[in-house]
Structures are given as structure tokens and as C-alpha cells.
Amino acid sequence: MKDLTNGSEGRLIFTFAIPMLIGNVFQQLYNTVDSIIIGKTVGKNALGAVGASSPIVFLMVASILGLTMGINVLVAQYYGAKDMERVKCTMDTGFIFIFLASLIITAAGIFLAKPILLLLKTPKTILPLAITYLQIILSGTLFTFGYNFVSAILRGLGDAKTPLYFLILATVVNILLDLVFILNFGWGVAGAAWATVIAQGIAFGAVLVYLQKIHPLFDLSVESMKFDWEIFGLSLKIGLPSGVQQTVVAASMMALTRIVNGFGADAVAAFTAAGRLDTFAMMPAMNISMALSSFVGQNLGAGKPERVKKGYVAAILMATGISFATTLVMATMGKELIALFNTDPQVIRIGARYLLIVGSFYAVFSFMFQTTGILRGAGDVFVPMLVTIIAQWAVRIPVASFLSGKLGTDGIWWGIPIGWMVGAALGFIYYLTGRWRRLGLVRPLPLGDEDLL
């Protein structure tokens, strides 16, 4: 566990974010390896099938994973307040809910896979493959939920390293299973899906066994676990807006995918490849934001609001610097990067344009996420939810739809950074009002600290 209430704000956030960043790199690595192997050996239709399924998977898990943000905030603030009994009760309550919710999501997702893909106008050439991939992936929902839930708890406690070691092992296993299932057994997209599910199961199972044995607060025995409705309600109060926000993002990605699907299999394959690279590019900003949320939660819980602004500024500087470097890579090496997934000239051309257009605005995305991180750490998640709805549905999708009729796939790509710019501006305006700092979840926060603005 790590105490984030004392010491250099920037150094604490940076060192706390690094293990999460490495972990997410490995977590995305096996998804990317899936796509590379599929795109190179099975073909662009199979690559497109994986991409067509991705926003649906995101939608299925987004609303539930929003609760993990509520758990993270509560655990961080209770831990900052040294209330270990509440920390344990929060963990128990969240785990029981995650377990039950994952079973429901799995059943619903498998049953609705084909109708949703048809609703998104998935090209007929990739539809059967997409259905197979999606149904197998959703069979492992419990593993996805469970691992992300445990990671959120550990971040709240200041421990971002423990899940990393098991995730690295799972990534290696996934890559090996990809090679066996796809290259040796010839299972195609089904092999990639099963490799991912097994890898996620290993990561979740291993971290559970480890924590059950060594962590004093982590006890999953049925006799010791308690479901607390008050804590559950508070978790929902914090996490539900985040869940809605994640769902809005996921639904907008589905809407964006529907627009892309209208341009055929080449566009879908290019969108899939560029999206995998895009995820890597945005990871530093997202993980620094998560570290900032834990930092803010602990310091507000400990009654040290004066450290929040310093942490916010440090997070922005770190994330923006990384974003500029990433933009340079994406803008100058776009064709070579897309070619790692598939060598079809049209796929490369469309994908490289995505990286050039979207990649030029990573700094805007980074700024937006750091502002969201500080608000979430304070427990103020309702306004970020509204900002996301506006940026995604009032800006991104209408702009992408309109411009796609004028500029083709380039118009779709332009809708993404335009949405970021609106979201960043609205979020920062709300941050300047200072209203978020009045939301004390654990103890009353001192008011009148104008230096927070």
C-alpha cells in the first residue's frame, strides 16, 4: 500500500501511475497481438470481425465497471481517513455485486450478440466471424470484471504493482495460446477469443489467490463477507454516473462503428488496427488520470486539499509531454504501424489517415482526462457525465456523420478530436468554479481555499 498524502505531488503521481501504465500496456498487448496475428494470417475480414465486436464488449462491461470507480474513490478516502473497517466492508460489497452482475451481463451479451451486430450494419463478409468472436469473449466477462475490480481496490489502497506481475504472466500465456490456437490449430478468430478469455482468467485467479493469502483486508470467505446497503448506495452515487459516462462513450463508439461499417470491410479493418494503436497512445494520459484520482481521494480524505492543485498541474505537465511525443510517432510512422496488422494498401491508407488526424490531438485528450481525474477523485462525477454526453452525442457523432458525407472516412476521424476539444473546455470551466471541492464523502472539507482554483 502507498500513502499519497505526504511527499512530492508530481513524483507520487508519476511513480503510482507507472505500474498501472505497464499493466495496461500488457493488458492491451495481448489484444493487439490477437489483431496482428489474425490480420496477418487469417486476413482483413477476420481483423474487421474483431474490431466490429470491440465496442459491443466495451458497452457490455462499461456500466458495471463504472462501479469500480465508486469503489476506488471510497477505498481511497476511507484509507486516507484510516477507517480500515469501512475499507473492508467496501471491498466485500463491491465484490458481491460484481460477481452477480457479471453473470447477468454474460448471459445477455451472448444472447444479443447477433442482433446487436446486425443493428450496427456489420458487413456480411465479417458477420459470422464477429458473432463467434463476440460470444466467446463475453463468456469471460466475470474474469474481466473481477480483475478490473480488484485493480480498482488496490489503486485505492495505494498499491498499483501487485496486479502487474500476474498480468505480465497472463500476457505471455495469451501470446503463446494465440500461436497455438491460430497458427497450429487453425481456429482463427475463435482461437484468438479463447486465448484472451483464458489469459484474463489466469490474471484474475492468480491475483485472488495471492491476495487471499497475504493481504489482511482481503478475505473472500463466504463467512466473512458482508453486503452493506449504505456503502453500496454510496458506491452507486459515485460510480453510477461514471458507469453512465462509460456507457455513453461505449454507445458512441458503437454509433461510430456503425458509420465506419457503411464504408465496407477495408474501413472496418483499418479502424480496428488504428484503434489498437490509438489505445496504446492514450494509455499514459488515462493512467496518470487514474493515479491523480487516487491521489485526490486520499488527500481529501486526509483533510489536505491544498495538495490537490499541485497534483493536478503536475499530472497535466507529465501527460501532455508524453502526448506530444506520441503524436510525433503516429504522424510520421502511420503507414508502417498499420502495416503491422495488414498489408492491404487500402487498409494502410485509411488507417494512416486516422492516426494522422486523431493523433494530432492527443494533448487535448490528455488535458481532458486529467481534469476528469481530479473531479472523480473528489467524488464529483455527475458533471463529468454530462460533459461526456454532450461531447460524444451532441458533438462527436453528429460531426462524424455529417463530415463522413463530405470527406469520407476522414470526416469520421475528425469527429473524434472535435469531441475531445468540447469535452476538455467544458470540464475545465467546471473545474474553475470550485464546486467539486465541496463534495466531502468521508469528512467535511475545508472551504475557502481559493488556491485550489
User: pLDDT per residue over 403-416, tens digit each?
Assistant: 999 999 999 999 99
Q: What is the pLDDT of residue 443?
A: 46
Q: What is the pLDDT of residues 197-228, one digit of tens each?
A: 998 898 888 878 877 777 666 676 777 788 88
Q: What is the pLDDT of residue 62?
A: 72
CA 78 – CA 1 distance, rounded (Å)? 13
- Work out the burial of residue 59: count CB atoms within 10 Å of its CB; fewer than 13 is exposed, 13-18 middle, 19 or more buried: buried
Amino acid symbol at 244: V
As a whole number, mean pLDDT of residues 68-89 equals: 77
- Whether the per-residue pLDDT at 339 is higher than 90: the answer is yes
**CA dist 290 → 15, 73, 215, 233, 395 (Å):** 12, 10, 22, 22, 25
- CA-wise closest residue to 5 among 282, 305, 213, 259: 305
CA 282 from chain center: how many Å? 10
Query: Regarding predicted confidence, which is higher, 190 or 164?
Result: 190
Q: What is the pLDDT of residue 60?
A: 74
Which of 84-93, 207-216, 274-283, 334-343 bottoms out in mean pLDDT, i.e. has the lowest? 207-216
Q: What is the pLDDT of residue 155?
A: 67
Residue with cell string 477523485: 377
Q: What is the pLDDT of residue 452?
A: 46
* 164-175 residues labelled b (16+ CB within 10 A) or e (exposed): bebbbebbebbb
pLDDT band for position 87 (cuts 50, 70, 90): confident
Amino acid symbol at 159: D
CA 244 – CA 232 distance, rounded (Å)? 17
pLDDT band for position 271 (cuts 50, 70, 90): very high
Q: What is the pLDDT of residue 420?
A: 95
Q: What is the pLDDT of residue 439?
A: 56
Q: What is the pLDDT of residue 2?
A: 64
pTM assigned to the model: 0.75
Residues in the chain: 453
- CA-wise closest residue to 116 among 104, 128, 126, 131: 131
Q: Is 425 helix (H, G, I), strand (E, B) or coil?
A: helix
Q: Which of 12-16, 296-300, 334-338 has the highest mean pLDDT?
A: 334-338
Q: 442 and 298 in contact (C-beta within 8 Å)? A: no
CA 388 – CA 372 distance, rounded (Å)? 10
CA 22 – CA 24 distance, rounded (Å)? 6
CA 145 – CA 431 distance, rounded (Å)? 30
CA 268 – CA 47 distance, rounded (Å)? 8
pLDDT band for position 365 (cuts 50, 70, 90): very high
- Whether the per-residue pLDDT at 426 is higher than 80: the answer is yes
Q: What is the pLDDT of residue 317?
A: 94
Q: What is the largest CA-CA distance in the chain?
A: 66
pLDDT band for position 53 (cuts 50, 70, 90): confident
Average pLDDT over the chain reads: 84
Q: What is the dihedral of CA 138, 143, 149, 151, to 10 degrees?
A: -120
Query: Regarding predicted confidence, which is higher, 356 or 52?
Result: 356
As a whole number, mean pLDDT of residues 371-383 equals: 82
Q: What is the pLDDT of residues 146-168, one digit of tens each?
A: 887 887 777 666 676 777 777 78
* 229-258 residues labelled b (16+ CB within 10 A) or e (exposed): eebbebbeebbbbbbbbbbbbbbbbbbbbb
Q: Which of 295-299, 319-323, 373-377 has the highest mean pLDDT?
A: 319-323
